[in-house]
């Protein structure tokens, strides 16, 4: 497995004279980049007054930049500029029974339970696979890349293996290749290639150039056919590795990520903003000076000065200046 791309985080406020306009992003986006929840949920927390920026209660539409301080749920963060050389992209072999959501109200396992942990960012799923569909799921830390890969205008290929119940007539294959009308608009298979055909079931390799909800299954269902097994084996130029086991992931190397960005029509990744926690968040203790009557000394509680004063107190009387 290739190690994730190293990321350069900067807490410095950007100087306009040196680097152009200061990078600012909406607060809910920056919170989401840090993996603190979905943008919709975080907007609700902002509306509830649960987020503060530089000691002021944030509102919807608040923007932040590097160096700003953010507080949420009694935790303090500082906004950092993330200038990664390239986005991180992960290939995950999804098994049956997992959903592609961070928190499932029904308590079902999610793909995010098995992904490598990130610091200062989060994995974004490129499209979705339904509960019973297996195979290749791409995830990235770059929201712009995820958006470009999923956008209908990009029209990237998605390749699947399908097991279809019953005998599949040639006329049905012709109609699926020519295009039919679904409830949400026209749809078609870009390519249909038989792998094996029989009376009880048949295997096909199919290619789509869009990713509408359950589109592969609904296309077959339009012909009165039921898909009993469905597995995605390719997304754009990324193929599911043969040795990648179900429930496991593999990081794309830098060259593969660059090629994927080029296919999606993107250039070099742009800096974005995330959050870094403020460590050792403890309230400062009030200093108290106590004087003992038996010997001259000073002691400051809760201060580094106490260690220095204690060292002076241990000096023997015969070594003191007279």
Query: In the chain, which residue ranges form alpha helices assigned H by DSSP?
Result: 16-19, 27-33, 39-47, 143-150, 170-178, 215-221, 254-263, 305-313
Q: Which residues are catalytic?
A: 130
Cα 79 to Cα 57: distance, rounded to the nearest angstrom: 16
Cα 50 to Cα 167: distance, rounded to the nearest angstrom: 58
For residue range 271-300, list pLDDT tens digits in order.
Answer: 788 888 887 655 444 454 444 555 544 444
Residue 143 has pLDDT above 60, yes or no: yes
9-85+273-277: CATH, from 3.10.290.10, 3.30.1310.10, 2.40.110.10, 3.40.640.10 = 3.10.290.10
**Domain range summary for the chain, segments of one domain joined by +:** 9-85+273-277, 89-267, 287-322
Cα 119 to Cα 194: distance, rounded to the nearest angstrom: 45
At residue 269 the predicted structure's pLDDT band, cuts being 50, 70 and 90, is confident
CATH of domain 89-267: 3.30.2350.10
Computed over every residue of the chain, the mean pLDDT equals: 83
For residue range 151-202, list pLDDT tens digits in order.
Answer: 889 999 999 999 999 999 999 999 999 999 999 999 999 999 999 998 899 9
The per-residue pLDDT for 292 is 53
pTM (two decimals): 0.68
At residue 2 the predicted structure's pLDDT band, cuts being 50, 70 and 90, is very low
Q: What is the tally of helices (H) and strands (E) in the chain? A: 8, 19
């Amino acid at each position: 497995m290739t190690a994730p791309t190293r990321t350069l985080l900067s807490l410095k406020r950007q100087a306009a004279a040196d680097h152009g306009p200061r990078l600012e992003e909406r607060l809910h986006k920056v919170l989401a980049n840090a993996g603190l929840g979905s943008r919709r949920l975080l907007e609700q927390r902002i509306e509830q007054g649960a987020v503060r920026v530089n000691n002021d209660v944030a509102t919807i539409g608040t923007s932040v930049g590097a160096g700003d301080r953010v507080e949420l749920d009694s935790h303090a963060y500082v906004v950092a500029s993330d200038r990664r050389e390239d986005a991180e992209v992960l290939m995950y072999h999804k098994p049956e029974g997992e959903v592609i959501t961070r928190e499932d109200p029904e308590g079902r396992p999610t793909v995010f339970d098995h992904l490598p942990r990130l610091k200062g960012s989060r994995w974004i799923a490129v499209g979705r696979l339904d509960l019973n569909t297996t195979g290749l799921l791409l995830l990235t830390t770059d929201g712009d890349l995820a958006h470009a890969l999923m956008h209908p205008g990009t029209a990237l290929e998605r390749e699947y293996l399908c097991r279809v119940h019953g005998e599949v007539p040639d006329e049905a294959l012709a109609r699926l290749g020519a295009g039919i009308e679904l409830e949400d608009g026209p749809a078609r298979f870009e390519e249909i290639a038989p792998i094996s055909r029989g009376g009880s079931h048949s295997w096909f390799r199919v290619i789509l150039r869009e990713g509408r909800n359950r589109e592969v299954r609904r296309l077959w269902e339009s012909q009165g056919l039921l898909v009993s097994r469905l597995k995605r084996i390719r997304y754009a130029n990324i193929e599911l590795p043969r040795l990648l086991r179900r429930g496991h992931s593999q990081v794309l190397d830098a060259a593969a990520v660059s090629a994927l960005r080029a296919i999606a029509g993107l250039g070099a990744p742009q800096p974005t903003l995330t959050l870094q926690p403020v460590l050792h968040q403890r309230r400062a203790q009030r200093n108290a000076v106590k004087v003992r009557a038996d010997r001259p000394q000073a002691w400051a509680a809760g201060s580094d000065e106490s260690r220095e004063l204690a060292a002076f107190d241990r000096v023997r009387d015969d070594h003191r200046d007279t």
